[in-house]
Amino acid sequence: MDSMQLFTRQTKAISTARRSLLIIESIPGIQFSEIVDVELGTGEVRSGQVIEVGKGTTVVQVFGGVSEVDLLDSKVRYKGETLKLPLSPDILGRIFDGSGKPIDGGPPIISQKYQDINGVPANPASRMPPAEFIETGISAIDGLNVLVRGQKLPIFSGSGLPHNKIAAQIIRQASLKGKSDDFAIVFGAIGVSYDDAAYFINNLEETGALSRAVGFINTASSPVIERLSTPRLALTAAEYLAWEMDMHVLVILTDITNYADALRELAAMRGEIPSRRGYPGYMYTDLASLYERAGRISGREGSVTILPILTMPDDDITHPIPDLTGYITEGQIVLSRPLDRKRIYPPIDVFLSLSRMMKEGIGEGKTREDHNNVFMQSYAMYAEGNYLREITTVIGSEALTDRDKVYLEAADRFERDFIAQAEHSRRTVEDTLSVAWDIFSMLPEEDLKLINEKYIKKYLPEPSKSE
């Protein structure tokens, strides 16, 4: 029966090969979206997928293109399934490629459990609103753009900006907090250089986090189609760890820009009508099918938190990749080139960054009672200082009042002492808040309008200390 099955599920009747598509005479039983192997006359095997099937003809997209396909000798074998990933606790500590094969020299994963990498949407009625603080040890995040479990919060970066360093710092530091046994990192590298991939893996090794991590690596030189499967493999592993092994999983996906470009490339090869800047019209939905796999489910212990990283082409936040991402994620951490030029690390743009889930994750019992007040006052202070900076570039500094000068100085200190920190410094949320309080002590006390007097009494350092 099996060999019979194999026999009938194979055909040579290819009628057209154009761009990346094959048009093939249909045989019975072809499933929409199933995976195929295309065997060339040379014996080379490429994989493909059924993208349309009809009674007369079937359309298959060949990943890797149709060059050298000939209409006489090439064969198409239907595999009868979509891409699946074997899952077991043994995936922890392992590294795979973008098709799910181990590339760390270890044995294949043996499991009865094969999961479709596209996942199944969570019932909105089963979801729990994310609310638990994740301490990253980075002040600009923990103080002003708090990340919570189950959130999806991207880093919008630009080429040459230190997004990888920041991500590595988060991986190092976030995994230290809390019970380490229920924490896991899943890392999906999409179309990145060997160096970048190696950087992350070494980082995981050095901190000993590798045993609690799973990596899926698609380098720039590996097949483009695997840019699409890499994040899905990563998220399938993450969901398994979260929903079945009760772990809190942090998923890092980098670089989503390579993902979107692969999506565009494959859509163009299918001859689809493009939308903005050549990206397919369904890119919002496609990206959502990744990002929406973050969350919490009521009655289950684990969580999936996603930190996608993308480089904005031309630093343009309205480009479809950051734009559609921003429409799906719960805020964004935006990196700033001007801050980077000033050698501020991490160069996080406080005005453009926002965590939409922050208010759920902070306050008494979660971080500290004064957190929200400190956040609002810091923001207002920095905004005012920044506004004055802009004004002085136009009208000079003569017109500034003494109060104005204090604010200018406060903005500088805010960048130097609060936003900036060493790559290996891990600040607790208390440390972060006290840096802010130190800077507040420069301001006239009556200016601290956004802070409850109770907290001013409790946390504002004595003037003598700050002078």
Ligand X SMILES: Nc1ncnc2c1ncn2[C@@H]1O[C@H](COP(=O)(O)OP(=O)(O)OP(=O)(O)O)[C@@H](O)[C@H]1O
- Applying CB under 6 A, the residues found at the interface with ligand X are 326-327, 356
Cβ-proximal residue to ligand X, closest one: 356
Site for another protein in 275-294 (CB under 8 A): 275-276, 281-282, 284-285, 288-289, 292-294
Rounded Cα distance between 252 and 264, Å, is 22
Residue 338 CB contacts under 8 Å (≥ 6 apart), including other chains: 347
Nearer to ligand X, 330 or 415 (CB): 330
CA 198, 200, 201, 205 torsion-angle sign: positive
Q: Please tell me whether residue 324 binds another protein under the rule CB under 8 A.
A: yes
Site for another protein in 377-416 (CB under 8 A): 379, 383, 391, 394-395, 399
Site for another protein in 96-155 (CB under 8 A): 118, 120-130, 150-151
The label of the residue with tokens 């840019």 reads 227
3-state secondary structure of 259: helix
Strands (E), 296-376: 303-311, 331-334, 354-355
Q: Say which entry of another protein, ligand X, none residue 294 contacts (CB below 5 to 8 A, set by partner kind).
A: another protein
Options 5, 8, 15, 31; binder of another protein; rule CB under 8 A: 31
Q: Provide, rounded to whole angstroms, the least separation between the CB of residue 297 and another protein.
A: 5
User: What binding mask, one character per residue, do residues 336-375 give for another protein by CB under 8 A, x or -?
Assistant: ---------------xx-x-xx-xx---------------
358 contacts 145 by C-beta, under 8 angstroms = yes
Q: Provide, rounded to whole angstroms, the least separation between the CB of residue 323 and ligand X.
A: 10
- For residue 462, give both structure tokens: 């004595």
Q: Provide, rounded to whole angstroms, the least separation between the CB of residue 417 and another protein.
A: 22
Q: Say which entry of ligand X, another protein, none residue 323 contacts (CB below 5 to 8 A, set by partner kind).
A: another protein
Q: Say which entry of ligand X, another protein, none residue 281 contacts (CB below 5 to 8 A, set by partner kind).
A: another protein
Residue 64: count other Cβ atoms within 10 Å of its Cβ. 14
Q: Which amino acid is at 259?
A: Y
Options 26, 111, 207, 222; binder of another protein; rule CB under 8 A: 26
Options 22, 24, 53, 62; binder of another protein; rule CB under 8 A: 53
Rounded Cα distance between 162 and 159, Å, is 9
Nearer to another protein, 220 or 456 (CB): 456
User: What binding mask, one character per residue, do residues 217-246 give for another protein by CB under 8 A, x or -?
Assistant: --------------------------x---
- For residue 239, give both structure tokens: 């969901």
Q: Provide, rounded to whole angstroms, the least separation between the CB of residue 68 and another protein.
A: 27
Q: Provide, rounded to whole angstroms, the least separation between the CB of residue 356 and ligand X.
A: 3
Q: Say which entry of another protein, ligand X, none residue 34 contacts (CB below 5 to 8 A, set by partner kind).
A: another protein
Q: Which of 262, 185, 2 is nearest to 270 (CA)?
A: 262
3-state secondary structure of 213: strand
Nearer to ligand X, 356 or 426 (CB): 356
Q: Provide, rounded to whole angstroms, the least separation between the CB of residue 284 and another protein.
A: 6
Q: Say which entry of another protein, ligand X, none residue 110 contacts (CB below 5 to 8 A, set by partner kind).
A: none
Options 32, 193, 202, 458; binder of another protein; rule CB under 8 A: 32
Nearer to ligand X, 327 or 351 (CB): 327
Q: Which of 322, 188, 348 is nearest to 257 (CA)?
A: 322
Nearer to ligand X, 8 or 318 (CB): 318
Q: Which amino acid is at 32?
A: F
Give the neighbor-by-neighbor strand order of the sheet with 213-219.
95-97, 213-219, 183-192, 248-254, 303-311, 155-157, 331-334, 354-355
Buried b (16+ CB within 10 A) or exposed e, 348-381: bbbeebbbebbebbbeeebbbbbbbbbbebbbeb
- For residue 257, give both structure tokens: 């820009």
Rounded Cα distance between 189 and 168, Å, is 13
Residue 121 C-alpha from the chain's centroid:
18
